[in-house]
Structure 1
Amino acid sequence: MALTPIPARRALLLAAAAALAGCDGVLPGGSKPAFKAIDITGAEYARSLTLSDPDGQPRSLSDYKGKVVVVFFGYTQCPDVCPTTMAELAEVKRSLGPAGAKVQGIFVTVDPVRDTAELLKAYAANFGPDIVGLRGTPEQTQAAAKEFKVFYNKVPGKTDTSYTVDHTAGSYIFDATGRVRLFTRYGSGAQALADDLKLLLAEAG
């Protein structure tokens, strides 16, 4: 896959959102958590997500309140970024021990034409029994990506089915109350993700 990094304008928007974040993420005593990822607490995007799981059941972020949720947009035929990101999340969940059960991973496909329900279910299961794959119609996928400011673009291949998809390579992290808190860039590493998840889990008590 020809990886497309977050466009500069979008990166600036993320940084601005972090700078303008409200007081929701302030710790007792007035200090903010020392997150490794970009703090986007208070952002006016990535607020809702409703798509179907592979069994056809509608799922939304509110279904996972009480857990720290990590949302990643990708596709099952992605050769590098997607499996690396999901494997890293699975590794971090294991490293957290029992607390890992309080972290919910969600994989949203940006390629619903090829990513059938059966394929998406099997793909998500590769990274753990509690990882959820979500898909929608092309129109629903586009709307979800717009809400999350996620870029994706089909890159034609030699045949109609051999195309790749450039897409934003990063994850959104929500706290246990369902508020978007962080954007973590691809390549930040498992330790940085683990540290941030521990902070959010500690907030949840």
Structure 2
Amino acid sequence: MKRARLARLACLFVLGLLLTACQRNDATAPWQLTDISGHMPDLAFALTDDQGKAVTASDYRGKVTLLYFGYTHCPDVCPLTLAHLHVVMQRLDKLADGARILFVSVDPQRDTAEALHAYVTAFDPHIVGLTGSPADIEALTKRYRAAFSREPGKAGGSYEVSHSSGIYIFDASGKARLLATPEDTQDKLVHDLHLLLSPGGAT
């Protein structure tokens, strides 16, 4: 039931972007992922990072940023996605130093800065955990048309959060450029990130 709900959220999320933004790139475009240039707002937020420091999007200007919504108690999608991105960063080698993966928690009640730090550093040094008030998180998800919902609690007070699984990619100036979905391969991510991270970058 939970997996079906999550799948529906992801499908609606991707379908909405494709209908309102753009179709898959044509043969002349440089991108292998979905081009969302001009169809999504610039990167903007005011949250707390996994060191307990207040940060905004301007703190990551000059870096290509990958924005992903998830939570530390996620049983499958989040760890698989972060492991996937870790391999991508490894394949980019030194170019990866110009990138940051922003893991925004959709479960701020449980995801303290300390919990986020322990979680993201287990995957890759390029990942930064971000949290904030429920209102801040909701506003940010709405800004990028993402979706999440808390599932009914289980015995012992545990619960899961269904959430969409897109990865938003912003260039070094904070402009939304690309969307990656779970169906996109590591090869596609490496190809497009290489273009964005190389000197001169793709425009």
Q: TM-score range by the shorter chain?
A: 0.7 to 0.9
Out of 7, 10, 13, the position equivalent to 2:16 is: 13
Partner of 1:146: 142
1:64 paired residue number: 60
Question: Where does 1:50-89 land on structure 2 (aligned, <5 Å)?
Answer: 50-89=46-85
* Partner-residue secondary structure (3-state), 1:70: strand
**1:36 Cα offset (Å):** 2.1
Q: Is 1:32–2:35 an aligned residue pair?
A: no
Secondary structure of the structure 1 residue equivalent to 2:7: coil
Corresponding residue SS for 1:4 = helix
Q: Offset at 1:156?
A: 1.2
**C-alpha contact (below 8 Å) 2:149/2:163 kept by paired residues:** yes
Question: Paired residue for 2:151?
Answer: 155
Are 1:174 and 2:170 matched, yes or no? yes
Q: How far apart, CA to CA, are the structure 2 residues paired with 1:158 and 1:9?
A: 27
Report the CA distance between 1:75 and its aligned residue.
Answer: 0.5
Is the CA contact (8 Å cut-off) linking 1:176 and 1:204 kept in structure 2?
Answer: no
What secondary structure, in the 3-state scheme, does the structure 2 residue paired with 1:186 have? Answer: coil
Structure 2: gaps of 5 or more residues? none
Residues 6, 38 of structure 1: alpha-carbon distance in 2 compared, 3 angstrom cutoff: farther
RMSD: 2.1
Could you tell me the TM-score, scaled by structure 2's length?
A: 0.86
- 1:59–1:127 distance in 2 versus 1, CA, 3 Å: same
Structure 1 unmatched runs, 5+: 21-30
2-side partners of 1:116 and 1:78: how far apart? 15
2: CA distance, partners of 1:81 / 1:9: 17
Query: 1:112 Cα shift?
Result: 0.6
Q: How many angstroms does 1:32 deviate by?
A: 3.4
For 2:103, the equivalent position in structure 1 comes to 107
Structure 2 match to 1:23:
none
Change (3 A) 1:150 1:85: same
Structure 1 counterpart of 2:29, which letter?
Answer: K
Q: Does 1:204 align with 2:171?
A: no
1:10 is displaced (CA, Å) by 3.8
The 1:96–1:53 alpha-carbon spacing in structure 2 relative to 1, beyond 3 Å, is same
Counterpart of 1:25 in structure 2 is none
Cα distance in 1 for partners of 2:185, 2:10 equals 21
- One-letter amino acid matched to 2:110: R
Q: Secondary structure at the match of 1:96?
A: helix
Residue 157 of structure 1, CA deviation: 3.1
Number of aligned residue pairs: 194
Q: Which residue is 2:92 aligned to?
A: 96
Give the Cα separation in 2 of the matches to 1:106 and 1:168: 15
